[in-house]
Structure 1
Amino acid sequence: MRKRNYLTLNSTQLFLVFVFSFLFLDSESMQARETENKRNTPNIVFLISEDNSKHFMKLFDPNGVETPNIEKMLLFGLLYPNAFSNAPVCSVARSTLITGTLTTRTGMHLHRKIKIAPMPDGLEMFPAYLRKAGYYTSNNAKKDYNAIESDDVWDNSSLKASWQNRPNEKQPFFHQETFHETHESRLHFNKEVMMNHKVKDNPAQVFLFPQFPDSPLFRYTVAYHRDKIREIDDWVGEKIQELADAGELENTFVFYFGDHGGVLPGSKGYLYETGLNVPLVVRVPKYFKHLVPYGTNEKPQAFVSFIDFAPTVMRLAGLEIPVQMDGHAFLGGGLEKVSLERRDEAYGHADRFDEKYEMVRSVRKGKWKYIRSFQPYYPDGMQNNYRYKMMAFASWKEGYKEGGLNSKQAAFFKEKHVERLYNLEEDPFETNNLADENKAMLKQMREKLHLWMVEKNDLGLLPENILVNKAMENPVEYGEKNHDQLEQLITIADWATNDWEDVNDLVIERIKNGDELERYWAYSVACSFGKQIGDDYNRFPKINSESSSIVQLKAIELSGRVEAKNPMPMLTKWLNAGKDPVENLIGLNTLVYFKDHSPYGEGFTANSLSLKAVNDEVNRRLIYLDGTW
């Protein structure tokens, strides 16, 4: 028998030896580079994906897709199931991130900005502080801020910006990069795409939110979006590999998160969890574990919001956190796990999105979610041209018009309750309002939101025309100087949470004797009650006796809400006489509401409109109204 020579290797074995030797040597060289590059101050990287909530990643939700690269981050870091954007849209969310402020306090809360807000006195966008401390700061490339940006924020902000472009490889860096392929626009596909583009998942088997119609179009749209989530994972893997190849991975905190909730209908632009609850995973570098009060592979239950991100970066970098920031650090030296885990609250706000107005506020505490609608008669599904470019969104509206939706699916196009209360453990998609069943919790959450709005001088109480004309030179200062008035306006607005019989005299007295903003909000309260006002409508002043144009608009709105008369002729006359495009935009919101969601829209024609004061957002409404949209 031939004796086997164990020193002789065949070609396959030689190849394997070569590969393993290469990997071993490459691993050794990477470790050597990391040791050589070890820093006194950590690098920090934000990897931001556009428009996706946590509900589509299996890491966060059993119905989500596998994301192996993001999952690998968790082996060396932390997963936050309770991470929230304070607003469900890009410009407002990103303004919050870069400033560390609540944008309803700083005048940056409207999407898109008609007038840009100055930074609060004495506050800079947080990368400017890092840069002054010796960091190289880069952004690739989306900003979309509603605030004035100074020249000292970035060393480079462009499509070519990278931490690798810093002049000194020993220099610590902060880098922010955005993945765009999950943006809402990617779901603006047509029927030809549906015919020719094969999605990875079987559409018939994907999980649908309970408020969605069960149609082939909705199922395909969900499956298409799931493929985009997989693309995020590939991108994150590439970015982490770049850090590893340069020997910087173990010096760098890598934050992966979405910039707000998802793009499927009823998510982006709305204060539901699918619009606010974002995926967040933080990879912790081994050389800076001492800055984190958690072990690796933990899932902190602490609530974190976008107002907290800037303070967190400042603390990780060892810098003093400016007092003007509204949030609190959730990582960094000196923090204790026990105190962090007590954090169980998050606040949300939604105002104007493009041409669509509605003021909504929310507070989440533990499993409880409270949503307060200040114009609850405006349906969620009111026209917003950009939203309805998505075929699934448009089909949802058509299904409602045809009467083919069940109660959960149809709710999106109907008047809402002033207050909504949800138990998210039992009702994660917020379809079962418990406001009438749990009065004690409702009261607690209402008071919590009221105090927050008062404390933060919520400028959403100002109609945008007044905000632009009177407050935008220095919104923070305006809020501080008018704190008592804003508190009074919040109190008036909260009359809508009572029975009409308990507040009718208060409302009518304010309309007769209050200042402009008090009259505006008293009328808004009355509009919330609508036909419940009954014969009390005869006690209201005549519409033409109102001296303020914006308050007169609310009086016209009330006449339609109580069905006293057709408001469309008065609205048309009011709009044609308008001299302020922002005020006209508010009026067009009212007109579209009556046109699409009341008996008064029948027979209306855009030919009756001849507006003299217009802007880009007004033109969006006019395009819709004249049928060229």
Structure 2
Amino acid sequence: MNVLNRRQFLSLTGAAAVALNQSAAIGSRRELAKRPNILFCISDDQTWLGCSAYGSKMVNTPHFDRVAREGVLFNNAFVSAPSCNPSRASVLTGMAFYRLKEASMNHTPWVSGLRVYTDILSARGYHVGFTGKGAGPTDFKAAGRSTNPAGPQYNRRYHQSGSKGITNIDYAGNFEDFLDKRPAGSPFCFWYGGRDPHRVFKKGIGLAEGKKLSEAELPPFYPDSAEIRGDLLDYAVHTEWFDEHLGRMLKKLEDVGELDNTLVVVTADNGMPFPRAKATCYEFGIHMPLAIRWANKVKSGRVLDDFVSFTDFAPTFLEAAGLPVPANMTGRSLLAILQSGAAGQVDPKRDHAVAGVERHFPGGRKGGWGYPMRAIRTEQYLYIHNLAPDRWPAGDPEGPVWPDDDPTGGFGDCDGSPTKTYLCNHRQDHAYYFDLAFGKRPAEELYDVKEDPYQLQNLADRGHYANVKADLAGRLKKDLVQTKDPRALGRGDELDNYARKYQKPLGQ
């Protein structure tokens, strides 16, 4: 019988440990290699109808359309909040915006302790980064973060002055830099946060690019004027600029052989930057474009009617990466419906979405007050509860504005624009349209979105809709209580205090 001495034993066990560690490392790399890449693309202020895949003739988005054609197009995707920072925060945290304290509104500090999917993926071996606009406008350093919640920033490349560039960030070039720095064998998670079609627009670029005023798709809540039509055409070209960079990113992934192992999601953070759209709970504020492509896992060429909330993205990304979803996330993973192979309505429980607003533009109302709203959208109806109907929904008629040279001098929740200026300058001869955009609203609004897709006929006070209104109000309240909305739990002053504390723009 051979007996090992101490030195021989340690030598053999040490060698075995090294072999095991090497084997584990190889296994870990193999597991990482199996995980999908994630490319999340989010434009800034783009309504759901602002894509040719949804039938627009004014906006041409071939690369969004490609993702939809080679993947899945969603008809019912809705933000948690139609305002930049709370919308983006709900994506990152997987939680309804009203649970996010200061991050439930724009121009506030980020909240320490908020878990975001990018951090979770980074800790599990993903190469993470973003270009353009991540979470924001917010001060993430106030929460002790060294990077934006969307990840480390890649914004080194810019277009040369004089180029066609509207926003001069070279998003696709920055994506290439990000890929160049990826450790071998690591999956990536990249956030493409285009700053278009956020204002300020390059005025007249729509006509300069060959579009015609007759091609402008004019919603019926605006009067017909050359100024408004031209503004819409400018918006269209800015939207197309975002899509152009998306196309370059898809091409790069094809060139390096990574496209089919990449979960590609393309959407927008809130509605278009026009009156009665962005920062409202109407369709043009909360209803978003959404296309998802994942060639190796998701059957292509489908259109889904299931309702999607922006809180669903974080659980989807984590489940796709094989990671557990934190219990505090209110969203639900989309993988089941994505991988079902079916079209139309796949999950009967996905029959509604909830959205809302607290405070959009800081200081837009005297005393710092917001305009709190909660809304529920079903296949047929949109119900909106305005919790402070005595206030001006678009901000006080006189007050701070953005940009600073907005000649209207008020209604600060609505970005300055030729359309806003036209409505304000013609408030007498176009009183109906002015009131739709800026007038005070009742406590309850109810619209049949099938019969009234632009929300022009409020049915809330019509007796034969009383049961519909009561049912929707009850469903909304139940959802808000279950997801711990402070207002539904009698703690609305918590959110009011954040709005009143931060009355000046904060963060980028």
Looking at structure 2, the residues matched to 243 and 129 of structure 1 have their Cα atoms a distance apart, in angstroms, of 24
Structure 1 residue 155, shift from structure 2 partner: 6.7
The equivalent of 1:277 in structure 2 is 287
Closer/same/farther in 2, CA of residues 137 and 581 from structure 1, 3 Å limit: closer
Residue 372 (structure 1) aligned to one of 385, 397, 400: 385
The equivalent of 1:169 in structure 2 is 184
Structure 1 residue 158, shift from structure 2 partner: 3.0
Looking at structure 1, the residues matched to 430 and 338 of structure 2 have their Cα atoms a distance apart, in angstroms, of 53
Deviations 1:512-562 (A, max 9, x none): xxxxx6xx99xxxxxxxxxxxxxxxxxxxxxxxxxxxx9xxxxxxxxxxxx
Equivalent residue letter for 2:352: E
Structure 1 residue 324, shift from structure 2 partner: 0.8
The equivalent of 2:315 in structure 1 is 311
Deviates more, 1:102-111 or 1:340-349: 102-111
| Counterparts of residues 206-221 of structure 1 (less than 5 Å) | 206-221=216-231
Looking at structure 1, the residues matched to 206 and 235 of structure 2 have their Cα atoms a distance apart, in angstroms, of 16
Partner SS, residue 353 of structure 1: coil
Equivalent residue letter for 2:429: G
Partner SS, residue 276 of structure 2: coil
| Counterparts of residues 50-69 of structure 1 (less than 5 Å) | 50-69=44-63
The equivalent of 2:71 in structure 1 is 77
Partner SS, residue 487 of structure 1: coil
| Counterparts of residues 25-174 of structure 1 (less than 5 Å) | 39-120=33-114, 124-145=115-136, 146=138, 148=143, 150=145, 156-160=152-156, 162=175, 163-174=178-189
Looking at structure 2, the residues matched to 154 and 374 of structure 1 have their Cα atoms a distance apart, in angstroms, of 32
Total equivalences in the alignment? 428
Looking at structure 1, the residues matched to 453 and 151 of structure 2 have their Cα atoms a distance apart, in angstroms, of 42
Contact 1:373 1:419 in 2 (8 A): yes
Closer/same/farther in 2, CA of residues 115 and 128 from structure 1, 3 Å limit: closer
Closer/same/farther in 2, CA of residues 236 and 382 from structure 1, 3 Å limit: same
Equivalent residue letter for 2:330: D
Partner SS, residue 183 of structure 1: coil
Deviations 1:405-443 (A, max 9, x none): 153553333221211111111111111111123111100
Is 1:447 the counterpart of 2:474? The answer is: yes
Equivalent residue letter for 1:411: L
Is 1:390 the counterpart of 2:404? The answer is: no
The equivalent of 1:327 in structure 2 is 331
Looking at structure 1, the residues matched to 319 and 181 of structure 2 have their Cα atoms a distance apart, in angstroms, of 22
The equivalent of 2:211 in structure 1 is 201
Deviations 1:173-198 (A, max 9, x none): 11111122311222xx5xxx449962
| More strand per residue | 2
Residue 426 (structure 1) aligned to one of 446, 451, 476: 451
Contact 2:39 2:191 in 1 (8 A): yes
The equivalent of 1:415 in structure 2 is 440
Looking at structure 1, the residues matched to 150 and 466 of structure 2 have their Cα atoms a distance apart, in angstroms, of 50
Equivalent residue letter for 1:368: Y
| More helix per residue | 1
Looking at structure 2, the residues matched to 196 and 448 of structure 1 have their Cα atoms a distance apart, in angstroms, of 43
Looking at structure 1, the residues matched to 110 and 56 of structure 2 have their Cα atoms a distance apart, in angstroms, of 41
Deviations 1:587-622 (A, max 9, x none): xxxxxxxxxxxxxxxxxxxxxxxxxxxx6369xxxx
The equivalent of 1:262 in structure 2 is 272
Contact 1:388 1:394 in 2 (8 A): no
Equivalent residue letter for 1:262: M
Deviates more, 1:408-417 or 1:73-82: 408-417
Contact 1:137 1:174 in 2 (8 A): yes
Deviates more, 1:355-364 or 1:149-158: 149-158
Contact 1:360 1:374 in 2 (8 A): yes
Contact 2:204 2:234 in 1 (8 A): no
Is 1:358 the counterpart of 2:349? The answer is: no
Equivalent residue letter for 2:241: E
RMSD: 3.1
Q: What is the TM-score when the length of structure 1 is the normalising length?
A: 0.63
Partner SS, residue 260 of structure 1: coil
Looking at structure 2, the residues matched to 259 and 487 of structure 1 have their Cα atoms a distance apart, in angstroms, of 27
Structure 1 residue 581, shift from structure 2 partner: 11
Equivalent residue letter for 2:213: P
Equivalent residue letter for 2:275: P
Looking at structure 2, the residues matched to 240 and 373 of structure 1 have their Cα atoms a distance apart, in angstroms, of 42
Deviations 1:65-124 (A, max 9, x none): 33222222223201111111111111111111111111211214543344442335xxx2
Looking at structure 2, the residues matched to 135 and 116 of structure 1 have their Cα atoms a distance apart, in angstroms, of 23
Contact 2:207 2:230 in 1 (8 A): no
Structure 1 residue 398, shift from structure 2 partner: 2.1
Deviations 1:171-224 (A, max 9, x none): 1111111122311222xx5xxx44996243211342211111211110110111
Structure 1 residue 278, shift from structure 2 partner: 1.1
Looking at structure 1, the residues matched to 42 and 485 of structure 2 have their Cα atoms a distance apart, in angstroms, of 28
| Counterparts of residues 215-614 of structure 1 (less than 5 Å) | 215-286=225-296, 289=297, 292=298, 295-331=299-335, 336=340, 340-354=347-361, 355-356=363-364, 357-383=370-396, 385-386=401-402, 387-400=414-427, 403-405=428-430, 407-437=432-462, 438-459=465-486, 461=487, 487-488=489-490, 583=500
Equivalent residue letter for 2:418: M
Structure 1 residue 258, shift from structure 2 partner: 0.9
Identity %: 23
Contact 1:54 1:61 in 2 (8 A): no
Structure 1 residue 39, shift from structure 2 partner: 4.3
Looking at structure 2, the residues matched to 136 and 424 of structure 1 have their Cα atoms a distance apart, in angstroms, of 42
> For structure 1, which runs of at least 5 residues remain unmatched after alignment?
1-37, 462-485, 491-516, 522-549, 551-579, 586-614, 619-629
The equivalent of 2:20 in structure 1 is none
> For structure 2, which runs of at least 5 residues remain unmatched after alignment?
1-31, 157-173, 365-369, 403-413
Contact 2:41 2:192 in 1 (8 A): yes
Structure 1 residue 332, shift from structure 2 partner: 5.6
Looking at structure 2, the residues matched to 196 and 425 of structure 1 have their Cα atoms a distance apart, in angstroms, of 31
Partner SS, residue 53 of structure 2: coil
Closer/same/farther in 2, CA of residues 408 and 72 from structure 1, 3 Å limit: same
Contact 1:52 1:182 in 2 (8 A): yes
Equivalent residue letter for 1:86: S
The equivalent of 1:621 in structure 2 is none
Looking at structure 2, the residues matched to 398 and 44 of structure 1 have their Cα atoms a distance apart, in angstroms, of 46
Looking at structure 2, the residues matched to 581 and 50 of structure 1 have their Cα atoms a distance apart, in angstroms, of 24
Contact 1:39 1:251 in 2 (8 A): no
The equivalent of 1:540 in structure 2 is none
Looking at structure 2, the residues matched to 218 and 92 of structure 1 have their Cα atoms a distance apart, in angstroms, of 28
